[in-house]
Amino acid sequence: MRVSRNLVALFTLVLMSGFANANLIQNGGFEDNAVNDGQWRWYASTDVNNWSGSNLEIWDSLQGVHAYEGENHAELNAHPYTGNVFTIFQDFTAVSGQSYNLSFAYRARSNSHEAFRVEVATGTDTVLSTLVDDHTTSGWSVFSAMFTATDTAAQVRFTSVSPATGTVGNFIDDVSVVSAPGALILFLLGGSLVVARRFSK
């Protein structure tokens, strides 16, 4: 009975949080563009919902590389060659003083030297900036980091580093920004469900 009461309390907390665990990033998995299985297409960012900046390549199970989540994933270093670094970004609304967790999946296309920089800016402050340079071609890795917003206007941004201007490299998928309370609630809820299973045996 005590376990059941704890679960009810946690579910109530989730509801009272006002969906605090909702992803603030829209189309974070690049699923809105229809790409046939085993193919890819490149798009101007204006043709990819919610994203801005450089062109994007969107893949669907091409060359044996399946998306981390859903059907599609993006390649940051996109066709065609422009001679410039590739940068894609998305604006979202935050709460000043609130902590958030940024997460996404990434993978190398060609070699382990691929790298990009991920940044989060709120207002005029860069509150997170990390060089992601531990790619492998054999599978997806997951990046996760906390930041605290200093303004309501926020932006997450990915910029190619290696290759800087070449059109081969840096797969990205499942981009998410979730409020820290929401992430904590999900963690606690998962732990309570494990306890409940143990007590039910």
Residue 10, domain member (yes or no): no
Structural domain count of the chain? 1
- Please, which pLDDT band fits residue 191 given cuts at 50, 70 and 90? low
Q: Are 164 and 115 in contact (CB under 8 A)?
A: no
Residue 100, domain member (yes or no): yes
Residue 188, domain member (yes or no): no
Is pLDDT above 70 for 83? yes
**Cα-based torsion angle of the residue sequence 142, 147, 149, 153 in order, rounded to the nearest 10 degrees:** -30
% of residues, the chain, pLDDT over 90: 79
CA pair distance 189, 103, nearest whole angstrom: 20
Half-sphere exposure of 73 (CA within 13 A, CB side): 26
pTM over 0.85: no
Residue 14, domain member (yes or no): no
Q: What pLDDT score was predicted for residue 194?
A: 44
Is pLDDT above 50 for 121? yes
Q: What average pLDDT score do residues 102-125 get?
A: 98
Is pLDDT above 90 for 180? no
Q: What pLDDT score was predicted for residue 21?
A: 75
Residue 198, domain member (yes or no): no
Is pLDDT above 50 for 16? no
Name the residue range of residue 102's domain: 20-180
Q: Provide the mean pLDDT of the chain.
A: 88
Hunting for tokens 């003083």 — which residue is that?
Answer: 97
Q: What pLDDT score was predicted for residue 181?
A: 72
Peptide bond into 181 cis (omega under 30): no
Q: What average pLDDT score do residues 154-159 get?
A: 98
Residue 3, domain member (yes or no): no
- Please, which pLDDT band fits residue 98 given cuts at 50, 70 and 90? very high
Residue 137, domain member (yes or no): yes
Q: CATH code at 104?
A: 2.60.120.260
Residue 194, domain member (yes or no): no
- Please, which pLDDT band fits residue 142 given cuts at 50, 70 and 90? very high
Q: Are 101 and 142 in contact (CB under 8 A)?
A: no
